[in-house]
Amino acid sequence: MTYARKSLAFILVALLPTAYSANLQHLDEQTAKRVDFAQLSMRLSEPGGYFGSDNLVSNELSYQHVLTKLNQMSVSGGAYLGVGPDQNFTYIAEIKPRIAFMLDIRRDNLLQHLLFKAIFGMAHNRVEYLCLLFGRPLPPRAREWNGKSIRELTDYVDRTPSNPKLIERTRLEIQRRAASYGLPLSDRDRESINEVYQAFCTSGLEVRYTIRDRPSGRFFPPYRELLLEKDLEGHQRNYLAAEANFQFIKKMQDRNLIIPVTGDLSGSRALRAIGQYLNESGEHISAFYTSNVEFYLLRQSSFERFVENLKNLPIDSHSVIIRSYFNYAYYTSQHPQTVDNYFSVQLLQTIDSVIKDQNAGGYENYYDLVTKRSIDLR
C-alpha cells in the first residue's frame, strides 16, 4: 500500500473500492497524458550543463517582493517560465498560468521537479505535502489542517521527529511515480532523486542552498525562513501559505501542466523550442523568472544569444522577466530598490524592453541591466 493510501487510513477516511480500479477509458487517458508529459519534456530539452551549487531551495529571501506589482501590472494567465526549484510555485500560484516550464541547465533540477510532482500526487493538502517531503508522520485529523497558518505547519514539522520506515516507504513510492511519468531515467538519475529526498529528510526545514565548487562566507537562509517570508506589504504569500494556492499547483501537476526542461537559456535548442511550442499552441509568455542567471550569461558573453532566444517567445506588453540581484556579490553598489536587511533584491523588467535595449546596443554590464529599466515595485 502506498503512503498516500496509508495516510487516508491514518486520518480515518475509508478507502473506497473504486480507488483500486478505474475503467479502461480513464486508464487510456492517463497513459496518453503521461506520454504527452514525457514527450514534451524530451522534445524541448537539450543536454544538461554544470552549475556549481546545489539549488535544493532558493537563496532569495526577497522572492515575494514582486508579487503585488505583478498583480498591479495584470501579469496573469499565459505561459510561465522559470529556473530553479520550488520558488517558482509561488509565482505560479500568483500568476495562475495555463502551462509552466521549469527550464534549468542542470538535469538535477528536472529530477527534483519529478520528485515534487510525485509528492504533489501523493499529498491531499499542505500538511501532508510537507510531511511527505520531510519524512514526518501526519498529525491527527490532518484534513482539519487546511485552515492552519504556514507558521503552524512549519512548527509541526520542526517539533515532529522523522520516521525512518515512513521515509523508506515514501522514497519507494516517489521512485515508482517518477518512473511512471515516461521520462527515461538512468541509475544515476534515480540515485539523484534519492539524494534530494534524503537531503530534505535529514536537514528538515534547515535545508539550504549550498555552493559546492568554491568557498563562500555568505549566509544562505534555511527553507523555514523562505516559507515564512512576506511580500512588501507584510503578507505571507508563499504557495504553502494558503490551501487554495497549494491546490492550484497540485491541479497543474496532476494535469501535467508543469513541464521540467533541461536547457541553457542561451543555448540553441531548449528556449527556442519552448517558443515554437507556444507559438504553435497560441499561448503567450506571462512571466519568465531568471533568478541571477543573466549575470553568468553576461560574464560568459552569451547574453546576446539569450536575447535572440527571447525574440522567439510570444510576448505582449505585460510579459515580464523576474530577476534577482545580490547586493555586493557582483558590484560594490547596492541596488536602488534594496529593502532594508535583505541581501537579495527581486526585480521586474518587461521582456520587450530587454529586446529593444539589446537591439539599440545592449547593456554596459550586469549592473546596467538590473538598474536601467527595472520597474519600481513601490
> Would residue 16 count as lying in a domain?
no
> Would residue 377 count as lying in a domain?
no
Rounded Cα distance between 61 and 284, Å, is 29
Can you tell me whether residue 326 is helix, strand or coil? Answer: strand
Question: What one-character-per-residue DSSP string does 193-260 give?
Answer: HHHHHHHHHHHGGG---EE-SS--------HHHHHH---TTS---STTSSHHHHHHHHHHHHTT-EEE
> Would residue 12 count as lying in a domain?
no
In this model, does residue 114 exceed pLDDT 80? yes
Rounded Cα distance between 9 and 91, Å, is 34
In this model, does residue 46 exceed pLDDT 90? yes
Rg over CA atoms, the chain: 21
Q: What does the pLDDT average to over 210-237?
A: 83
Confidence of residue 214 (pLDDT cuts 50, 70, 90): low
Q: Which residues contact 193 (CB under 8 A, 6 or more apart)?
A: 111, 112, 114, 115, 174, 175, 178, 185
* Domain of 46, in residue numbers: 24-372
> Would residue 6 count as lying in a domain?
no
Rounded Cα distance between 138 and 145, Å, is 10
Rounded Cα distance between 227 and 249, Å, is 16
Query: Position 229: which residue type?
Result: E
Residue 261 parent element (H or E):
strand 258-262
> Would residue 18 count as lying in a domain?
no
Confidence of residue 218 (pLDDT cuts 50, 70, 90): low
User: What is the domain count for the chain?
Assistant: 1
> Would residue 9 count as lying in a domain?
no
> Would residue 222 count as lying in a domain?
yes
pLDDT tens, 51-77? Answer: 655 679 999 999 999 999 999 999 999
CA dihedral 355, 360, 363, 368 (to 10 degrees): -90
In this model, does residue 161 exceed pLDDT 90? yes
In this model, does residue 10 exceed pLDDT 50? no
Q: Which three cell numbers stand for residue 314?
A: 510570444
**What is the number of other CB atoms lying within 10 angstroms of the CB of residue 354?**
26
> Would residue 50 count as lying in a domain?
yes
pLDDT tens, 118-153? Answer: 999 999 999 999 999 999 999 999 999 999 999 999
